[in-house]
Structures are given as C-alpha cells and as structure tokens.
C-alpha cells in the first residue's frame, strides 16, 4: 500500500466497518460491527457527487449528456475495482469461508463495493474536502491516465494554460458565422488573443467549434515558440 489507510482515519471503527462483507456476519453472529453496506450506500452517493463536480469544472462547455457518459467510465465496476486493487483493499476484507474460497477478495464487484464503502467511511470520518482529495488521487487521476485515449480533449483549457504561461490574457471566442436551419446549424468560431485572431473552427455547436478553434490555435502557437 502506498500509505497506511488505518492511520488516515480518526475513527478506526469506521475503517474496520468499511471492510466487513455481509457474508462474514453470517458466520459471526455475535460480531460487534455491522456490514459495510450502509457505508457503501453513502459512499456511492458521495462518489457520484465528487466525480460530477470534478467533471463539471474540468469540462465547462460539455452538455449534461456528455458529462454523464464520461462519469459512467469513472464509476463503473471495473474502474472502481482497479482503484481498490491499487490500494490493496482485498487483503483487508472480512469474508465468509465460502467467499474466501471463491477468491471473493479478488471479485471486481466486491472490490468496487468496498471502495465505495471506504469512500463513505472517509466522508463520515474526515468530511467532504478530504474525501474529494482521496478520490482525486486514488481514482480520478489514475483513471484519467487509463482513459487518456477515450476521454474528450479539452483544448480550450489547454490553450488557456498555454497562453497564460506566455504572460498573455485569456483567449476569447467569437462566432464568425452560423449556417443552416435552426435544427441543423453549423457554427464558425474564431479564437482571439489580445484582439488578434489566431485560428477558426467549425462545429455543430458553438462549444464544438470553440474546441476545434482552440485545437488549431494551440498547434499554431506551439510552432512559434
């Protein structure tokens, strides 16, 4: 493990409960803690909020449908189970003998649920900001690399960072032309830096045209540095 999870917690009981699979309690009727299912319920909601907030800020021009599709990649069972594996959560799980024999500590569904339970426990123990940081470092950043070729490129953000690194003001976008009927328009957008037009882009929406313009502008400006 990259760091000690149990030392991360103030309330060690919350940490312990995050790893109690319901099958364990079937064989340990007098165990003094409940299963992790309630924490999983809470963690699922907190995780969805954190991922939504992250994507909302990272992709300011994307519509709800596209954001929902991207979020689905981050919170799918496979992605969450990989995060759990990186944290070695499976070795901490309390499982029934049957689940152990069936390699339940390697089961993607159980690992994903445990990761969500851990999120719920961290939220209860540390609050939202610490939970956000944990998810960012242990799910979002690693998954961002994993999906690098599948996630949309935010060229506007890249262009803004590049231009500001050159000591210039934030680029501005201007619709130059719109063609076609309302239900099927094509937009042409120019991107300007210090009132100078750097490039143009076209698309079926203003946002799409702006991204295309930013992509072209980035290529132009990088050849000049």
Q: Can you tell me the distance from the alpha carbon of 160 to that of 158, in angstroms, rounded to the nearest whole number? A: 5
Q: Which of 107, 129, 146 is the last residue of a domain?
A: 146
Q: Please state the three-class secondary structure of the chain as a single string.
A: CCCCHHHHCCCHHHHHHCCECHHHHHHCCCCCCCCCHHHHHHHHHHHHHHHHHHHHHHCCCCCHHHHHHHHHHHHCHHHHHHHHHHCCHHHHCECCHHHHHCCHHHCHHHHHHHHHHHHHHHHHHHCHHHHHHHHHHHHHHHHHHHCCCCCCCCHHHHHHHHHHHCCCCCCEEEEEEEECCHHHCEEEEEEEECCEEEEEEEECCHHHHHHHHHHHHHHHHHHCC
Residues annotated catalytic, as ranges: 44, 116
Q: Can you tell me the distance from the alpha carbon of 131 to that of 125, in angstroms, rounded to the nearest whole number? A: 9
Is the distance from CB of 220 to CB of 201 less than 8 angstroms? no
Instruction: Look at the chain and count its residues.
Output: 225
Is the distance from CB of 146 to CB of 79 less than 8 angstroms? yes
| pLDDT tens figures, 17-54 | 999 999 988 888 788 889 999 999 999 999 999 999 99
Tokens found for residue 116: 């969500």
Q: Are residues 106 and 83 in the same domain?
A: yes
Q: Are residues 198 and 136 in the same domain?
A: no
Q: Could you tell me the CATH number of the domain that includes residue 179?
A: 3.30.160.20
Q: Are residues 131 and 164 in the same domain?
A: no
Q: Can you tell me the distance from the alpha carbon of 109 to that of 120, in angstroms, rounded to the nearest whole number? A: 17
> Whole-model pTM?
0.69
Q: Which of 120, 146, 172 is the last residue of a domain?
A: 146
| pLDDT tens figures, 135-150 | 999 999 998 887 766 6
Widest Cα–Cα separation across the chain: 74
Domain housing 75: 5-146
* pLDDT computed for residue 2 by the predictor: 47
Q: Are residues 186 and 124 in the same domain?
A: no
Along the 225 residues of the chain, how does pLDDT read in single tens digits? 345 787 889 999 999 999 999 998 888 878 888 999 999 999 999 999 999 999 999 888 788 888 898 899 899 999 999 999 999 999 999 998 988 888 888 999 999 999 999 999 999 999 999 999 999 999 999 988 877 666 666 788 888 888 888 888 889 999 999 988 877 889 999 999 988 999 999 988 888 889 899 999 999 988 876
């Amino acid at each position: 493990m990259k760091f000690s999870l149990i030392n991360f917690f103030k309330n060690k009981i919350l940490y312990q409960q995050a790893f109690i699979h319901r099958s364990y309690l079937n064989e340990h009727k007098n165990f003094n803690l409940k299963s992790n299912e309630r924490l999983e319920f809470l963690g699922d909601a907190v995780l969805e909020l954190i991922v939504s907030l992250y994507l909302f800020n990272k992709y300011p021009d994307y519509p709800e449908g596209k954001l929902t599709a991207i979020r689905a990649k981050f919170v799918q069972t496979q992605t969450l189970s990989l995060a759990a594996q990186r944290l070695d959560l499976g070795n901490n799980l309390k499982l029934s003998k049957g689940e152990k024999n069936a390699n339940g500590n390697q089961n993607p569904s159980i690992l994903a649920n445990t990761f969500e339970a851990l999120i719920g426990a961290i939220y209860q123990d540390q609050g939202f900001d610490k939970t956000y940081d944990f998810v960012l470092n242990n799910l979002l950043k690693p998954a961002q690399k994993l999906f690098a070729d599948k996630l949309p490129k935010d060229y506007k953000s890249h262009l803004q960072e590049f231009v500001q690194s050159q000591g210039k003001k934030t680029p501005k976008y201007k619709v130059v032309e719109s063609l076609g009927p309302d239900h099927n328009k094509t937009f042409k957008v120019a991107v300007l830096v210090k009132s100078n037009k750097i490039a143009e882009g076209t698309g079926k929406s203003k946002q799409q045209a702006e991204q295309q313009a930013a992509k072209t502008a980035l290529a132009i400006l990088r050849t000049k540095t």
